[in-house]
Chain A
Amino acid sequence: MKPSEYLAGSIGFSISEVGAGFMLLLSAIKRAPRAIKQKHLVVEQMQRIGLGSLPLVLVTSVFTGGVAAVQAAYQFENYVPLRYLGMVISKSIVIELGPVLTALVVGGRVGASIAAELGTMKVTEQIEALETLAIDPVRYLVSPRLIAAVMMLPVITVFSDFIAIMGGFAVAYTGLDINTHVYFNSIKVHLTSEDVLSGLIKAFFFGGIIAIMGCYHGMKTRGGAEGVGIATTKAVVSSCLLILITDYILASLLFSAVFAG
């Protein structure tokens, strides 16, 4: 095995696959208007992606906020007054930790389930059965998932941001003796709408990545149960990587170009 093949195999996609995934994205976008008309399909996916992810995101967010508080307090020591704690925690959560961790957690959960579902449909000929019924699988399966994911990820991220900020507050209040007013005032004064917006823009793109990677790997599953397993792994690994890469690109773009000017 060539090193490039090994790398492609272990990170879940190669350059040519990025191209194929992108083509799937384009065709799913093209079919989105018709998919939106079939509300029941989109709503069903929104429930599965959104409601289903809330408990998991709740737990991860509480602890993320808590860790952010502990870390910030440690780094502040003797340099920065603790009354800035609320600002630092909320900014790091809203811009970075909230969207990225939510996307990684949801990506693991939702990406895997999409890939497994579509992969099973592929190997049991259900996708071909759709085609023989003259139903375009991209329109029927991919577009609703894409729409649902790009809509739900920002919503879940808002929820996550809120919970994480409260988690940070719990640590600050109980462990660091910072009172309610100080913590929230620092957030109120320093947290800007650009911060929040940048996080939500990221979440929107992350949602797209999760849905497309799940669908792409699911739809090109080969073989039986083993193939479904491989597809699931690839979907999760590739979406996690793409989320981190995209995060960097979006952060550079948003903060150097859009919001700076």
Chain B
Amino acid sequence: MIRIVDLKKNFDDLEVLKGVNLTINRGETVVVIGRSGCGKSVLLRHIIGLMMPDSGKVFVDGLDVTELKEKQLYELRKRFGMLFQGAALFDSLSVLDNVGLGLREHTNLSDEEIRKIACDKLEMVGLGRLDDKKPAELSGGMKKRVGLARAIAMDPPVVLYDEPTTGLDPIMADVINGLIRDLQKRLGITSIAVTHDIKSAYKIGDRLALLYDGKIVFEGTPEETRSTPNELVRQFIEGNAQGPIPIYEE
């Protein structure tokens, strides 16, 4: 279980997170939706200890991520997979080595076995024969999917997805949504996804949470989200320029 308690983060005088509270139960997929620049990626980074908050706590199975020593933090991260918004593939490594790097570093599997697992994961994201290509030779959407294959390569119990479907064509987006759903169903993976793709959010989320003005202002199942009277949520899911959410930040 992951529990985020009153998380606050500023960059100089820009207040990004102003007290985020959110609980993600084991085996559940929570989708955080919110406008571009509202701090979704920053929130994900705090969960895995890439950023430290100004105040507040993040508990993962009772451990406080913000208090962990470096060594413990690395241990904890072995239980996480993370898909970066920009894929963040290692551009000096081939696609196959990107996916297999975690296995190579943390297990005693042979090169052959690692290759096999990496190929399987690549197949799951619809990338059959890319093996020896370098990331620079891939399209944006392909990179994203390699990033996804890398995130799930070690079969981690928790996966964080930063905009899993952005940059994918609608058909492939649906494949990836299906994959995320499937991973959760079959392996009981706990996931947190952030996105502004509302369709994908409905499809993969057990619960949706709206991050607005540095706080979670709404939480609910897809059905509750669809029928909520909450003005902020309505404006967001309907994609209206008019409404309580200002278009320009002051």
Taking a contact as CB atoms under 8 Å apart, the answer to whether A126 and B90 are in contact is yes
Main secondary structure of the interface of A (DSSP, over half): helix
Expressed in whole angstroms, the Cα–Cα distance for A135 and B97 within the complex equals 14
| A134-B102, A134-B106, A135-B101 known; A129+B75 contact, CB < 8 A | no
**Contact between chains at A129 and B90 (CB < 8 Å):** yes
Is there a chain B Cβ closer than 8 Å to A124's Cβ?
yes
A219 to chain B, nearest CB (A): 14
**Are the C-beta atoms of B48 and A125 separated by less than 8 Å?**
no
Min C-beta distance of A220 to chain B, whole Å:
15
Answer whether residue B212 sits at the interface, using C-beta atoms and an 8 A cutoff. no
Which A124-167 residues sit within 8 Å CB-CB of chain B?
Answer: 124-126, 128-136, 140
Contact A125 B74, beta carbon cutoff 8 Å: no
Taking a contact as CB atoms under 8 Å apart, the answer to whether B50 and A128 are in contact is: yes
Q: State in angstroms the CA–CA spacing of A129 and B78 once bound together.
A: 12
- Nearest Cβ on chain B to A188's Cβ, whole angstroms: 46
A134 to B77, CA, bound (A): 5
> Is the CB–CB distance between A135 and B88 below 8 Å?
no
Q: Which residues of the other chain, A, contact B102 by a CB distance below 8 angstroms?
A: 133-135
Compute how far the CA of A140 lies from the CA of B104 in the bound complex, rounded to whole angstroms.
Answer: 12
Distance, CA A124 to CA B86, complexed state (A): 8
Is B88 a contact partner of A131 (Cβ separation < 8 A)?
A: no
Chain B count of residues within 8 A CB distance of the other chain: 22
Nearest chain B CB to A126 CB, angstrom units: 5
Is B231 engaged at the interface, CB distance under 8 Å to the other chain? no
How far is A131 from B52 in the complex, measured between Cα atoms in Å? 14
Compute how far the CA of A126 lies from the CA of B86 in the bound complex, rounded to whole angstroms: 10
Are the C-beta atoms of B105 and A128 separated by less than 8 Å?
A: no
A31 to B67, CA, bound (A): 23
Please, which residues of chain B bring their CB within 8 A of the CB of A133? Answer: 77, 101-102, 105, 150
Q: Which B residues, 79 to 111, have Cβ-Cβ distances below 8 Å to chain A?
A: 80-82, 84, 86, 88-92, 101-102, 105-106
In the complex, which residues of chain A have a beta carbon less than 8 angstroms from the beta carbon of B150? 133
A129 near B88 with CB under 8 A, answer yes
Given known pairs A124-B88, A126-B89, A126-B90, the reply for A132 and B105 (CB within 8 Å) is no
Which residue of A117, A126, A136 is within 8 Å of B88 (Cβ)? A126
Contact A125/B106 with A131-B50, A131-B77, A134-B75 known, Cβ cut-off 8 Å: no
B88 with A134: CB separation less than 8 A? no
Which residues of chain A are near B86, meaning CB under 8 Å? Answer: 124-125
**How many Å from the CB of A28 to the closest CB on chain B?**
15
B105 x A135 contact (CB < 8 A): yes
> Which of B48, B80, B91 is A126 in contact with, Cβ under 8 Å?
B91
Contact B88 A125 (CB under 8 A): yes
Interface positions, chain B 32-52, Cβ under 8 Å from A, are 45, 48, 50
Residue from A121, A131, A140 with most neighbouring chain B CB atoms (10 Å): A131
Closest chain B residue, CB of each to CB of A130: B90
- Asked if residues A134 and B84 are in contact (CB atoms below 8 Å), the reply is no
Whether the pair A128, B88 counts as a contact (CB closer than 8 A) is yes
Instruction: Tell whether A128 pairs with B84 under 8 Å between CB atoms, given A133-B101, A133-B102, A135-B101.
Output: yes
Chain B residues with a Cβ under 8 A of chain A: 45, 48, 50, 74-75, 77-78, 80-82, 84, 86, 88-92, 101-102, 105-106, 150
6 cross-chain CB contacts under 8 A:
A120-B91, A126-B90, A133-B77, A133-B102, A134-B74, A134-B105
Interface residues of A (CB under 8 A from B): 117, 120-121, 124-126, 128-136, 140
